[in-house]
């Protein structure tokens, strides 16, 4: 299969690409790096990416983040970058990409543990992750031609402990191979409309 990984040079994306590379053709997309460039906050950029690729069998998105900060001071302008990127960006990847994914192909989006277990100062991220999950549940009922969609919802991954561990006191880090296997299940398996939790 031809597998597009948006965010394939990131912490999770690199591991997922390595797990799939020996069985599939991997295309890495990123804002400033990869085989093809894409800005997921721009529907036009997403469409241009798919038009350049013409056709893919599976699309994975591991890109996007959200605002962590004091709830008392949080305002719309803090939330919008994450909404435009991780939420609307992933939604647009599906809404635009569904016309370029082959029959029987799949989308795998990324949400996260914050949808169910928000960290302190992580209300924005919790909201975005929960919305991604809900989008997947709805979209799975609407996609045609046996196309599938799932979300992988990882906990705090081992390789992010140094950078983000202080935001998640008491959280058990998740091994990277377990996270990668969730994406493999979504791409190579038959599951559809699932929130694949890796906590």
Tokens of 166: 């202080």
Which whole-number Å values give the CA distances from 176 to 96, 150, 155, in the listed order? 30, 19, 10
**How many distinct helices (H) and strands (E) make up the chain?**
7, 7
How far is 167 from 93, CA to CA, in rounded Å?
29
List all residues 6 or more positions away from 40 whose beta carbon is below 8 Å from its beta carbon.
Answer: 6, 31, 46, 61, 63, 64, 85, 89, 90, 92, 93
Per-residue pLDDT of the chain (199 residues; tens, 9 = 90+): 999 999 999 999 999 999 999 999 999 999 999 999 999 999 999 999 999 999 999 999 999 999 999 999 999 999 999 999 999 999 999 999 999 999 999 999 999 999 999 999 999 999 999 999 999 999 999 999 999 999 999 999 999 888 888 888 898 999 999 999 999 999 999 999 999 999 9
Q: What element of type H or E holds 132?
A: helix 123-142
In this prediction the pTM is 0.96
Q: Are 179 and 12 in contact (CB under 8 A)?
A: yes
What is the fold, at CATH topology level, of the domain defined by 2-198? Rossmann fold (3.40.50)
Q: What element of type H or E holds 100?
A: none
Q: Which stretches does DSSP call E strand in 13-119?
A: 25-30, 36-37, 56-61, 101-110
pLDDT tens-digit readout, 61-97? 999 999 999 999 999 999 999 999 999 999 999 999 9
Rg (CA), the chain: 16
How far is 47 from 57, CA to CA, in rounded Å?
16
Dihedral, CA atoms, 21, 10, 40, 113, nearest 10 degrees? 100
């Amino acid at each position: 299969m031809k597998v597009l990984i948006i965010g394939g040079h990131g912490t999770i994306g690199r591991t997922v690409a390595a797990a799939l590379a020996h069985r599939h053709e991997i295309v890495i997309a990123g804002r400033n790096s990869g085989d093809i460039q894409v800005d997921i906050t721009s529907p036009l950029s997403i469409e241009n990416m798919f038009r350049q690729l013409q056709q893919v069998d599976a699309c994975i998105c591991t890109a996007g983040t959200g605002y962590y900060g004091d709830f008392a001071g949080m305002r719309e302008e803090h939330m919008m970058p994450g909404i435009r990127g991780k939420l609307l960006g992933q939604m647009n990847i599906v809404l635009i990409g569904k016309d370029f994914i082959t029959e029987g192909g799949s989308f795998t989006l990324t949400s996260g543990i914050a949808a169910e277990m928000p960290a302190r100062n992580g209300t924005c991220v919790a909201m975005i992750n929960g919305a991604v999950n809900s989008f997947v549940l709805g979209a799975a009922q609407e996609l045609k031609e046996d196309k599938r969609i799932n979300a992988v919802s990882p906990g705090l991954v081992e390789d992010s402990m140094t950078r983000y561990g202080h935001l998640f006191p008491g959280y058990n880090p998740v091994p990277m191979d377990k996270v990668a296997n969730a994406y493999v299940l979504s791409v190579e398996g038959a599951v559809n409309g699932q929130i694949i939790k890796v906590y």
